[in-house]
Amino acid sequence: MKNKREERKHEHITHAVGLEEGPLCAGWEDIHLVHQALLQDDFAEIETGITLFGKRIAQPLIINALTGGAAGLEKINGALARVAKETGIGLAVGSQSAGINNREFRHTYGIVRKINPDGLILANISALVNPKEALEAVKMVDADILQLHMNGAQELLMAEGDRNFGPMADNIKRIVEEVPVPCLVKEVGFGISRETAERLYKLGIRNLDISGAGGTNFAAIELARYPHKGALDYMRYWGITSACSLLEVKSLNLPFTIVASGGIYNPLDILKALSLGADVAAIAGYFLKILVQKGEDDLLLRVKSFQNELKMLMMMLGAKKISDISYVPRVISGFTHSWCEQRGIKLIKDV
């Protein structure tokens, strides 16, 4: 018999894969990178690799936190780990609280380190846990970095979700002080504002995953789990889009390492995010859909293809290496432009 938490893990996957996209867009459609027709580089010399959290990865890409912690889910994490290893990209496991509370589920997370002993692995746990539990999560997958998720909006929409977030800020501060690997705070699809980022910086956080709105929609997922007969439907529009969130955080000019996630579907979205100042991109929902609907081989092919597509686009932008992307000219239009104007965010880059 599955317990409630196990059931929820499977329901999240079913709805994330089954629900249609939207209603918000992530904002990448408002970012325009300027084509440079006089190509000047040799395709063979374009370098897509970066060093991140002490590890070399072949593309500026992480498979973001998805799952683990229920019977059968080691199959998904195993497949993701093989794809990450084969293509040389990073991988985060899903929330590890089920593994902390129940030894029986630890292998559903630990399998990723077994398969990929040298790869970049991110542990994942709620920012509501204490430092001892956070350390257990790190050890369970021998993680290079710990993701702390702030999923307050999702919890509030869950009938069985957490309601007391009083300890969260203090927990984050204590975890940063006591856990021996770097900590990253992430959202789960509602975005991080500059006010929140500034508070997190004061708590000692130097790594952020903005995980904005426009991709996986956890309001829609939770509403599908507990049909509210149309009430609360408006919450599907809640959140800061990924492009706006990234620009918000960058506008602080604080030394954050920034992961861009939320509605990234292709290499052009990745390069747009990097042009706005992200250090790396992460994808959860889109890769899960390919894995569940088409299988591991198709996911492997898609991620392999990303590398060639990145190189092609980088050539057209006159960028030889990933760090060049932050200097390529770009234009920001539409909703993202208006958002930045009203939030006092400067759009012209100092180059």
Q: What is the DSSP string of 35-59?
A: P-SS--S-GGG-B--EEETTEEESS
Confirm or reject binding of residue 345 to ligand FMN (CB under 6 A): no
Cβ proximity to ligand FMN: between 239 and 277 the closer is 239
User: Cα separation of 298 and 318, whole Å?
Assistant: 30
Confirm or reject binding of residue 188 to ligand FMN (CB under 6 A): yes
Confirm or reject binding of residue 239 to ligand FMN (CB under 6 A): no
- Torsions phi, psi for 331 (to 5 deg): -125, 140
CA angle 110, 145, 109 (to 5 degrees): 15
Q: What is the DSSP string of 78-102?
A: HHHHHHHHHHT-EEE----HHHHH-
- Torsions phi, psi for 350 (to 5 deg): -90, 110
- Binding region for ligand FMN (CB under 6 A) out of 112-120, 175-183, 278-286, 330-338: 278-286
Cβ proximity to ligand FMN: between 27 and 189 the closer is 189
Confirm or reject binding of residue 12 to ligand FMN (CB under 6 A): yes
Confirm or reject binding of residue 245 to ligand FMN (CB under 6 A): no
User: Cα separation of 149 and 127, whole Å?
Assistant: 5
Distances (CA, A) of 156 to 14, 130, 169: 20, 21, 17
- Binding region for ligand FMN (CB under 6 A) out of 53-61, 208-216, 326-334, 338-346: 208-216
Confirm or reject binding of residue 108 to ligand FMN (CB under 6 A): no
Minimum distance of ligand FMN from residue 273's CB (angstroms): 11
Confirm or reject binding of residue 285 to ligand FMN (CB under 6 A): yes
Nearest to 94 by CA among 24, 186, 157: 186
Q: What is the DSSP string of 113-146?
A: HHH-TTS-EEEEEETTS-HHHHHHHHHHHT-SEE
User: Cα separation of 125 and 147, whole Å?
Assistant: 6
User: Cα separation of 268 and 28, whole Å?
Assistant: 9
Among 66, 185, 219, 345, binds ligand FMN (CB under 6 A): 66
Confirm or reject binding of residue 95 to ligand FMN (CB under 6 A): yes
- Binding region for ligand FMN (CB under 6 A) out of 171-179, 230-238, 277-285, 296-304: 277-285
- Alpha-helix residue ranges (DSSP H) falling in the chain: 4-18, 74-87, 97-101, 106-115, 131-141, 152-157, 168-178, 194-202, 218-225, 242-250, 267-275, 285-294, 296-317, 334-342
Minimum distance of ligand FMN from residue 7's CB (angstroms): 13
Confirm or reject binding of residue 90 to ligand FMN (CB under 6 A): no
Minimum distance of ligand FMN from residue 9's CB (angstroms): 8
Minimum distance of ligand FMN from residue 62's CB (angstroms): 9
Confirm or reject binding of residue 8 to ligand FMN (CB under 6 A): no
Confirm or reject binding of residue 283 to ligand FMN (CB under 6 A): yes
Contact assessment for residue 150 and residue 225, using Cβ atoms and an 8 Å cutoff: no
Confirm or reject binding of residue 94 to ligand FMN (CB under 6 A): yes
For residue 242, list its beta bridge partners.
none
Among 59, 67, 77, 275, binds ligand FMN (CB under 6 A): 67
Confirm or reject binding of residue 191 to ligand FMN (CB under 6 A): no
Among 6, 8, 16, 112, binds ligand FMN (CB under 6 A): 16
Map the footprint of ligand FMN across residues 147-176, applying CB under 6 A: 147, 149
Cβ proximity to ligand FMN: between 116 and 151 the closer is 151
Among 216, 245, 275, 336, binds ligand FMN (CB under 6 A): 216
Residue 23 preceded by cis peptide, ω within 30: yes
Binding site for ligand FMN (CB under 6 A): 12-13, 16, 64-67, 94-95, 124, 147, 149, 186, 188-189, 211, 215-216, 261-264, 283-286, 288
